Structure 1
Amino acid sequence: MTEQSKPLAPAAVAMIGLFALASAMGIGRFSLTPILPLMQRDAGLTMAQGGWLACANYLGYLAGALICIALTPRPAAATRWGLAAVGLFTLSMGVTESEIIWLASRFLAGVASALVLVGVSAWAMPILIRHGREEWSGRVFAGVGTGIAFAGLFGLAAGIDAWTSRATWIALGLLSAALAVGLWRPLASTTPAASSPAQQARRVLPGRTIIAAACYMAFGYGYIIPATFLPTLARGYVDDPATFGLIWPVFGAAGALSTFAAARLGRGLAPWQLWTRAQWVLAVGVLLPALRVNVATLLLSAICVGGTFMIITMAGIKEALRLGGAPASLAVGVMTSAFAIGQILGPLTVSLLAASRDGFAVASLMAVVAMVAGNCVLLACSARWERLARLEGRPNEA
C-alpha cells in the first residue's frame, strides 16, 4: 500500500497537525516550565539551573531549525521521528538525576520539536491549501497552545497531588510516546506534492528579510522570559500549587484561543500590522511582573503573553513569505533560526543575572526594550516594503 493510497480529509489533517504540535511544543519544548517548580521542590533546582536547562532546549530548537534548512527532510518523516524523539527524551528526564543528561535530553527534545514544527507545517499546509481550507491552519497551530495548556494542567494536578518531578516527567514522556505511535501511520497517509527544482533553488536573502528576522529575534527574546519563568515566579509569591499552578494553563489556553481570534481580528491587516499590534500587548505582559509580582500581574502577564505569541509567530512567518526574494523554505528557516536565537538569549540573560536580587526584573526590562525597538524598526520600514511589494507585483498579504 502506498503512502497516497488513502488520502486524508482536511479535518483529519488539521486534527493530526494539532495533536502533533501539542506533543512537540507543549511537552517537547515547554513542559519544563510547569515542572520547574516541582524540580525546585524535590530536586533542589535553582533558578539559574532552570535557565540553563531552558537554554539547552532552545539551543536544540535552533539546531533543529538549521538541520531543516540544510537537509530539507521529508515532512512526514521529520514529524514522525521528531514525535518519537520527544517521547524518548521526555522520558529520560524522569529516569535520572544527572544534570548532564538533563541538559542533553532538553537539547535533543528541542531538536525534535523543531523537526515536528517544520514537518507539520510542510505536511499539513499544502494539503489544506489544495482542499481550499487554508484558513484551517489556525486549527493546526492551536495545537501549540493546547499542548501548553494541557502540560500546565498536568503540572498543576501533579503539584496538588504531591507527585515528584520524576514521576511527572515519566508520565508526560509516556503520553508523548503514545501520541507518536498513534500518529505514525496517519502521517504517512497523504504526502504533499514535491517542490519543483526552481522552488528548491536557494537565492541570497534580501535585506528586508534579514531586518524582519532581526525583529523576530527580538520577539523570541522578549516572550521566552515569562514563558519560561512565570510559574516559578508564582511559586515564589504563593506556595499553594492550586494557585501558582494555574498560571501555565491560563497561558496555554490564551495561546490556543488566540489562533482562532487572529483569523477574525486580523482580517484586512498586513502581516506586519498584526505583528506589531500584538507585540505591543506582549510587551505589556512582559513588563507587568517586572514591576510587581502578585496574582493579578501574573495572570495578566499569562494572558497577554500567551494570547499573542502564536499570533506573532504566524504573522512573522507570513511577513517573511510576503517580502519574497527567497524560497519559502529558506525564508521560514531563517526566521525560525532567528526566533530560536532570541529564545536562547532570554533564559541565558536570567541565568547570568540570577545572583542579583532584581535580576528577573532587569532581564524583563531588557526584553521590553528589545521588542519596542523591533516594533519601531518594523513600523519605520513597513511603508518602504509596501512600496517595493507593489513595484514587484507582490500582494500585501501572504
Structure 2
Amino acid sequence: MQKPAISAAAAASIGLLALASAMGIGRFSLTPMLPLMQQDAHLTLTVGGWLATGNYIGYLAGALVCILMTPRPAPAIRWGLVGVGLTTLLMGFSEWPALWLALRFLSGVASAFVLVGTSAWAMPILRQHGKEDWSAHVFSGVGIGIAFAGLFGLAAGIDAWSSRVTWIVLGAVAAVLAVMLWQPLAVEAVPQAQAGEQRRRALPRPALVAAGCYAAFGFGYIIPATFLPALARGYIDDPAMFGLIWPVFGAAAALSTLASAFLGRSLAPRQLWTRAKWVLSAGVLAPALAVNVPTLLLSAVCVGGTFMIITMAGIKEALRLGGAPASLAVGVMTAAFGAGQIAGPLMVSLLGRSGHAFAFASIIAAACLVAGNCVLMIFDHPVVPEKA
C-alpha cells in the first residue's frame, strides 16, 4: 500500500488541533462560560440547559448528515472549523437567548462534521504509516481543547472579563486555527474510488447494539460534563477554586488518551470501554450524593479521565464488529452519542424547579451507564472477519 503524502506526525498534529477547536470550543466552551453568563447575563440554569441541549441537537443533526451524505473528510473538517469559529465569535455579539440557541445548534453541527471528518481523515493515514496507536494523540486534542477553554474561562473569571469578551476571544482562537489548518487539510486520506466502494458497506447488527450502549454513555456522562462548573459556583465562592473544575476535567481527558495507548495494548476495545465506564459511573454519582470540593474534583477526574477513552474504544469497537468504513462507523456512533446526550441537559431543565434537579438527573444517568455496561458484558460478539 502506497503511503500518503502527509506524514503520520503531521496527520496526528492536525487532527489534534482540529479536535481541540471543534470539541474544546465548539462543543464544550459553554460549560466554563456558564458561570460567567450567570453573573453578567443573568443566565439561569434552566436556560443554560436549553442552550446545551441546542448544541447537542446540532451535534446529532451533523452526525446524521454525515451518515446520509458521507462528505469527504477534508472538506468536512475545513468547513466545520470555519463554522465553529464563526458561531463562537457571534455569541459575543448577541444578547438574545433565541440567537444564542441558534448559534449553539450550528456550532454543534460544525463540531460533528469535524469529529467525523477527523476520524475518517487521520486514522487511515496513521494506519497506512503503521502508526495506528497514534490515534490516542489525535483524540487527546479533545482534552487539550477542554483544558484550554477551562483555563481561559478561569482566567476570565479572575480578571472579571465579561462573558461577551470571553466568547469573542475564544471565537478568534477557533478562527485562527481554521485558517492555519485549511491548507494542510488539502490531502485526502482515502482515494475516491476506494471511498465509493466503502460507502456501499453497512454496519452489522452487533455494531448497532454497541451504538445503543454508546447512546447510554452519551446520556450518562453529559450531565457533569455540562453543569459541573456551574454547580461548583453555587457552593464555592472563590472563582479561582470553582473555575479549576473544568481545567482539571480537560487535563484528565488529555492525559487519559495517552494512558489508553498503553492500556489498549493489553485490553480489547470492549474491555477498555466497560472498565472505564465503571469509573465514569462513580464520577457521575459522586456529586449527587454530596456536593463539596472533594466530590466535585473526584467527578472531574473520573468523568474527564474516562470519556475520551470510551469514545476511542467505542469507535474502535464499531470498526472491529464489522470492518466498516471509518466515516460510516464514526457517524453512526456519533449520532447515537448525540441522541443520548440530548436527554441529559433536557432532563435538568425539566427538573429545574426542583432543588435537587442535578442530583436526581445524575442518579438516573449513573443507572443508565450501569445498564449499558451490563448489555456490553452480556452481549459480547466475536470479531467479524474482513472480506477479501
TM range (shorter): over 0.9
CA contact (8 A) 1:322 1:394 kept: no
Q: 1:38–1:159: 8 Å Cα contact kept in structure 2?
A: yes
* Superposed displacement of residue 8, structure 1: 2.5
Note the C-alpha offset of 1:328: 4.4
Q: Is the CA contact (8 Å cut-off) linking 1:201 and 1:327 kept in structure 2?
A: no
- The Cα of 1:30 is off from its aligned counterpart by 0.2
C-alpha separation in 2, matches of 1:198 and 1:55: 36
CA 1:249–1:325: 2 relative to 1, 3 Å: closer
* Residue 187 to residue 318, structure 1, CA distance change in 2 (3 Å): same
Q: Which letter maps to 1:201?
A: R
Give the equivalent residue in structure 1 for 2:334. Answer: 336
Q: Does 1:140 align with 2:138?
A: yes
Which amino acid is the alignment partner of residue 198 of structure 2? Q
CA distance in 2, matches of 1:219, 1:394: 28
Asked if structure 1 preserves the Cα contact closer than 8 Å seen for 2:124 and 2:190, the reply is: yes
Q: Deviations over 1:157-209 (max 9, x none)?
A: 00000001000000000111011111111111454333254322044x43322
Aligned to 1:201: 200
Structure-2 residue corresponding to 1:75: 73
Deviation at 1:268, TM superposition (A): 2.3
2: CA distance between counterparts of 1:325 and 1:157? 45
What is the match of residue 8 of structure 2? 10
1:196–1:46 Cα change, 3 Å:
closer
Three-state SS of the structure 1 residue aligned to 2:252 is helix
Which residue in 2 is equivalent to 1:379?
A: 377
Given the superposition, is the C-alpha separation of residues 78 and 196 from structure 1 closer, same or farther in structure 2, using an over 3 Å criterion? closer
- Counterparts of 1:290 and 1:82, CA distance in 2: 35
Q: Which residue of 2 aligns with 1:214?
A: 212
Gaps of 5+ in 2: none
Rate the CA distance shift 1:199–1:349 in 2: closer, same or farther, 3 A: same
What are the ranges of 5 or more consecutive residues in structure 1 without an aligned counterpart? 1-5
Shift of 1:367: 0.3
> How many angstroms apart in 2 are the aligned matches of 1:8 and 1:196?
18
Post-superposition CA distance 1:6-34 (Å, at most 9, x none): 93222111111111110000000000000
Pick the aligned partner of 1:310 from 295, 303, 308: 308
User: Is 2:289 aligned against 1:283?
Assistant: no
2:57 corresponds in structure 1 to: 59
Contact 2:119 2:330 (8 Å CA) reproduced: no
In the TM superposition, what is the alpha-carbon distance from 1:128 to its structure 2 partner?
1.2
| TM-fit CA distance, 1:330 | 2.9
Residue matched to 2:156: 158
Q: 1:224-265 CA distances to partner (integer Å, 9 max, x unpaired)?
A: 000000000110011211000000000000000111101112
Q: Does 1:24 align with 2:22?
A: yes
Q: Could you say what secondary structure the match of 1:354 adopts? A: coil
Q: Which letter does structure 1 place at the counterpart of 2:329?
A: A
User: CA shift at 1:136, angstroms?
Assistant: 1.0
| Matched length | 384
Give the AA of the match of 2:128: R
Matched with 1:323 is 321
Q: Report how far residue 394 of structure 1 moved.
A: 6.2
Does the Cα contact within 8 Å between 1:255 and 1:308 map onto a contact in 2?
yes
In 2, the alpha carbon distance for the partners of 1:136 and 1:294 equals 37
3-state DSSP of counterpart to 2:183? helix
> Match for 1:360 among 352, 358, 365?
358
1:302-327 Cα distance to aligned partner (Å, 9 max, x none): 00000000000011111111111755
Q: Which among 163, 177, 180 is matched to residue 178 of structure 2?
A: 180
SS of alignment partner, residue 62 of structure 2:
helix
Identity %: 69
Q: What displacement does 1:393 show? A: 4.0
CA RMSD of aligned residues (A): 1.7
State the distance in 1 between where 2:205 and 2:124 align: 28
Q: Which residue of 2 aligns with 1:273?
A: 271
Tell me the distance in 2 between the aligned counterparts of 1:43 and 1:393.
55
Equivalent position SS for 1:355: coil
1:62-99 deviation per Cα after TM superposition (whole angstroms, max 9, x unaligned): 01101111111111111111101100000111101011
Whole-angstrom distance in 2 between the partners of 1:196 and 1:294:
51
Matched, 1:126 2:120: no
Change (3 A) 1:136 1:74: same
Matched residue SS, 2:379: helix
Corresponding position of 2:99:
101
**Kept in 1: contact 2:120–2:326 (CA 8 A):** no
| Distance (Å, rounded) in 2 between the aligned partners of 1:360 and 1:165 | 24
Structure 1 residues 189 and 327, CA, compared in 2 at 3 Å: closer, same or farther?
closer
Provide the TM-score with structure 2 as the length reference.
Answer: 0.96
Q: Matches of 1:183 and 1:393 in 2, distance apart?
A: 36
1:8 and 1:190 in contact (8 A); partners too: no
Contact 2:122 2:189 (8 Å CA) reproduced: no
Residues 233-242 or 192-201, more deviating: 192-201
After superposition, the Cα gap between the structure-2 partners of 1:327 and 1:82, relative to the gap in structure 1 and judged at 3 Å, is closer
Question: SS state of the match for residue 89, structure 1?
Answer: helix
